[in-house]
Amino acid sequence: MTNSGATFTDISGWHKNVHYSTGGTRSKYIALHPDTNEEYFFKGSKETPQGEIRYPTEFWSEIVSSKIGQFLGFPMLDYNIAYDSKHKQKIGCLSKSMVFGAKNKLTEGISYLTGFNPQYNPEIDKKDYTFQFICKALNEFSLVNYIENIIEIIVFDSIIGNSDRHQENWSILSTYEQDENIVEEQISSAFDKIKNKIKKLSNNSSKEEGKIHINVNSKYLTYTYNYQFAPIYDSGCCLGREYTDEKVFKMFNDSQMIEKYIRKGESEIHWEGNTKKRKHFELIELLLEHYPAETKRFIGRVMEKYNSDAIEDIIEKIDINVPADLINFKLSVARKQLMFKLVTLRIEKLIKYL
């Protein structure tokens, strides 16, 4: 029904780029595509300090969230399935790097927050990580137009129940390009000077000797910086990824447990004036009060694109391309059914605000 299937790629033979640190708590590394040399991120599931895999299906939540987000019109980083026979976590999700050599730069939210307030420590000042703080920081860097992208992320997180949208899980991409119009203008001006100089020399009876020197100042090579809010990424802390298959089966058959789970879901982004985390839909209600136009626009887009059959199809076929010999890595039927219930119930709750 949909074209949102997850591809499967065996990256066992890809070269690992060991010179870069990827950070975070999940098992991940950078791999280079053997044909294009482009960088890709292979990411497994969260591991404990002792090396135990804490949430084995977390990478599946990342992939499912990516595909559902794309279907609903959100600007998502595309995640697909990857297999590495040489890695501890042999299967995980794969995404193409958003940074292309020296052509652009990815600046995480934490850089703007600490740039605005150097005393801010995300490990200690968790309650200060508020929507208002983010807005003030963006405004300080003349990026106030990206506040609506933060609102869009919060709307998306309310759909999947993401609980970990911390300061490194949203970013802004910057690129620079040479201003060709100015360069062409200066080159044209330089040629005019040359022609005038030649004309003057040809009319000079003394017939001056020597070379003609025309200086084009390097300042003419100007650059224009462009900014773009990065696609939504790192959204794997959702969809019941912390539950064992036994707990998933139990929850799926208990509507009260599901309702409670949805109701208790919290956002990592706080709201000024409250030290405690806000529930996802509490945050939506606050945004509707203070940013009604932007919030309703994103919710309206979800309502327009929402199709429960299509979402069920996405989840059902998410692991269809996993080879038969890796069947143990596929999602259980109960987990898929729970994912579907969680997403559709959340969407239906969200669109009721319109």
Per-residue pLDDT of 247-283, as tens digits, reads 999 998 899 999 999 999 999 999 999 889 999 999 9
Q: Strands 104-108, 91-96: parallel, antiparallel or unpaired by DSSP?
A: unpaired
Strand stretches in the chain, DSSP E: 8-10, 15-17, 26-32, 39-46, 80-83, 91-96, 104-108, 171-178, 223-229
Q: The whole model's pTM is what? A: 0.84
Please state, in angstroms and rounded to a whole number, the distance separating the CA atoms of residues 122 and 336. 34
pLDDT of residue 55: 86
List the single range of 70-79, 199-208, 265-274 with lowest mean pLDDT.
Answer: 199-208
User: How much is the mean pLDDT over the chain?
Assistant: 86
Same domain, 140 and 240: yes
Is 2 part of any domain?
no
Reading phi first (left if > 0) and then psi (alpha if -120 to 50, else beta), residue 221 is in beta
Domain that holds residue 204: 180-221
Could you tell me if 54 and 143 lie in one domain?
yes
103 has a pLDDT exceeding 70: yes
Q: How confident is the model at residue 121 (pLDDT cuts 50, 70, 90)?
A: very high
**The two three-digit tokens of residue 330, written as one number:** 């596929």
Q: Are residue 147 and residue 185 in the same domain, yes or no?
A: no
- For residues 47, 51, 56 and 60, what is the CA-based torsion angle, rounded to 10 degrees? 50
Q: Which long-range contacts (CB under 8 A, 24 or more apart) does 325-331 make?
A: 326/83, 326/91, 329/90, 329/91, 331/57, 331/60
Please indicate, yes or no, if residue 237 is contained in any of the structural domains. yes
Q: Does 111 share its domain with 159?
A: yes
Q: Which residue has the higher pLDDT, 293 or 27?
A: 293
Who wins on pLDDT, 182 or 279?
Answer: 279
Does 182 have pLDDT greater than 90? no
Is there a domain that residue 1 lies in? no
Model confidence at 293, in pLDDT bands (50, 70, 90)?
A: very high
In 3-state terms the chain splits into helix, strand, coil percentages (rounded to 5) of 45, 15, 40
Least confident of 25-34, 61-70, 73-82, 220-229: 220-229
- How many domains are contained in the chain? 2
Is 201 in the same domain as 291? no
Report for 165-179, 215-229, 322-336: range of highest mean pLDDT: 322-336
On whether residue 3 sits in a domain, the answer given is no
Nearest by Cα to 38 from 87, 106, 95: 95
The pLDDT assigned to 215 comes to 44
Give the CATH number of the domain where residue 237 resides: 1.10.1070.20
Question: Residue 353: what pLDDT?
Answer: 96
Burial class (CB in 10 A: 0-12, 13-18, 19+), 345: middle
Q: According to the model, what pLDDT value does residue 216 have?
A: 42
Residue 187 sits in the same domain as residue 335: no
Confidence of residue 319 (pLDDT cuts 50, 70, 90): very high
CA–CA distance, 298 with 314 (Å, rounded to integer) = 21
pLDDT band for 5, please (50, 70, 90 cuts).
confident
Residue 199: pLDDT above 80? no
Please check whether residues 39 and 89 belong to one and the same domain.
yes
Clarify whether residues 240 and 161 are in a common domain: yes
One domain for residues 202 and 81: no
**237 and 186 within one domain:** no
Looking at the DSSP assignment, which residues form a beta bridge with residue 224? 177
Q: Indicate if the pLDDT at residue 222 is higher than 90.
A: no
Report how far residue 70's alpha carbon sits from residue 77's, in angstroms, rounded to the nearest whole number: 9
- Banded pLDDT at 178 (limits 50, 70, 90): low
Would you state the structure tokens that stand for residue 238, as one six-digit string?
A: 């959702």
The answer to whether residue 54 is domain-embedded is yes
How high is the pLDDT of residue 242? 92
Domain check: are 241 and 318 in the same one?
Answer: yes
Q: Are residues 47 and 81 in the same domain?
A: yes
